[in-house]
Amino acid sequence: MAYATLVELRSYLGIAAADTDDDVLLARLLVSAQKNIDGYCGWSFEASGAATRYYSPITDTEGDRLVLDMPLLTLTTLTNGDADVITATEYYLEPANTTPKWYVKLRASAGLAWTYTDDHEQAISVAGTWGHMTTADATITQACLRWAGYMYRQKDAQVFDVTAQPGAGIITIPKGMPEDVKMTLSAYRRLC
C-alpha cells in the first residue's frame, strides 16, 4: 500500500478525475516520494510483512533489555541465543503504552538472561511485524502528496536552484526535498 493514492494526488494537484494523461508519471512520482521519505526518515511508515531480525546478546543488549534496530509493531516469536523460545509471559515490550516498540525486556520473574551457545552474532531472533506504524498517518500522506506534487510541477519549470535576487524578481527553486516537507518529517526521522 502506498502512502498516498493516485486519486489523492490528482485531487491535490487539481487534476480532473477524467484527465488520466499523466497517470503513469504521477504513479512513478508517488513511488519516488515514498522511497525518498523512507530514506530521509530511516524507516518505512507501513508495516512490513512478517519478518525475522537477528541480534547479538553481547552487542545488542543492555542488561535484560534487547535493543531493537528497527521499530517493532508486533512480536510473533522470540528465540534466545541458545535456541529456546521465550514465551510472551517471560518478556514485555517497551516503551509501554505506545507503538512502535524499541526494546524487548526480560521479566525478572522469568529468571532468564540473553545468551548464546556457540556464536553470539545473530544468535537471538525476533520474528514479527516491523515498521513505524501499521499504515501511513495523515501527516505522512500529506508529506508524500506535497513531495510528489512538487516533483510533478518541476517537470515544467525552466530553471532549477536559482539564487534569490528579490530586487530582480528572481524566484528560488530549491533542489531536492521542499523545506516544508523536511519540517513535517523532522519529527519522524531516525536519529541513530
pLDDT digit string (tens) for 104-143?
999 999 999 999 999 999 999 999 998 888 888 899 999 9
Mean pLDDT of 93-109: 94
Closest CA to 85 of 93, 75, 77: 77
Average pLDDT, the chain: 89
pLDDT digit string (tens) for 148-181?
999 999 887 665 555 556 666 665 555 678 889 9
Mean pLDDT of 27-44: 92
pLDDT of residue 163: 56
Per the document, the length of the chain is 192
Cell digits for 175?
Answer: 533542489
pLDDT digit string (tens) for 39-64?
998 888 888 778 999 999 999 999 99
